[in-house]
Each structure stands twice: as structure tokens, then as C-alpha cells.
Amino acid sequence: MAVTHLADTPAVEPCASPRPTVLDAGSKVEVRRRLDDKWARGFEILSVTDAGYRLRRMSDGVEIPATFPSADIRKERKRDYWWY
């Protein structure tokens, strides 16, 4: 078994923090629940402001009376499992 010399490998630059994704009005999103820090589905972006995102609950169409920072929302993810 050959031994490789690690000093010859190029240094890996640390990853820069990813740029936050700007979501558009009408995008389906998930919201971080403050109670248990999990994600809740079923929301849609109404508008984007300098302070954050205004959301609407898709089940009944009610606008949520709060502005959400980008750290507390993410694009809705598909579930990757199947039930038979």
C-alpha cells in the first residue's frame, strides 16, 4: 500500500457562508416553528420587504400578521419517501 504525502495536496479554502436565497412572491415555503425549531409546511410568500417576508397560510388564505426574516423560511421541500 502506497503512502501519500499530505503536504502536496492543495489547501482547501473554507466555504464562504452561502448567500441567502431570495424567494419571490407566490413561492411555496416552510416556516421555522419557534416552539420546537422544526419546519412547518403550507405557506406562500405574499410580498418581500426590507424587513423580511410577508406570508399567507395556504389552507385558509389568511395573511400571517408578522414579518419573517429569511433565516426562518425556506423553499418548500418535496418529501423524498413513498408510502405503499
Q: What is the pLDDT of residue 18?
A: 47
| Sign of the CA dihedral with 10 first, then 14, 16, and 18 last | positive
Short-list 34, 46, 19, 26, CA closest to 72: 34
Phi then psi dihedrals of residue 6, to 5 deg: -75, -20
Mean pLDDT of 48-71: 95
Cβ-contact 55, 62 below 8 angstroms: no
The fold for domain 22-75 equals SH3 type barrels. (2.30.30)
pLDDT at 65 over 50: yes
pLDDT (average), residues 62-74? 95
Average confidence (pLDDT) over 9-38: 74
Task: Show the cell assigned to 33.
Answer: 416553528
- Enumerate the domain spans of the chain: 22-75
2: pLDDT strictly greater than 70: no
- Given a cut of 70, whether residue 31 has pLDDT beyond it is yes
pLDDT single digits (tens) 42-51: 999 999 999 9
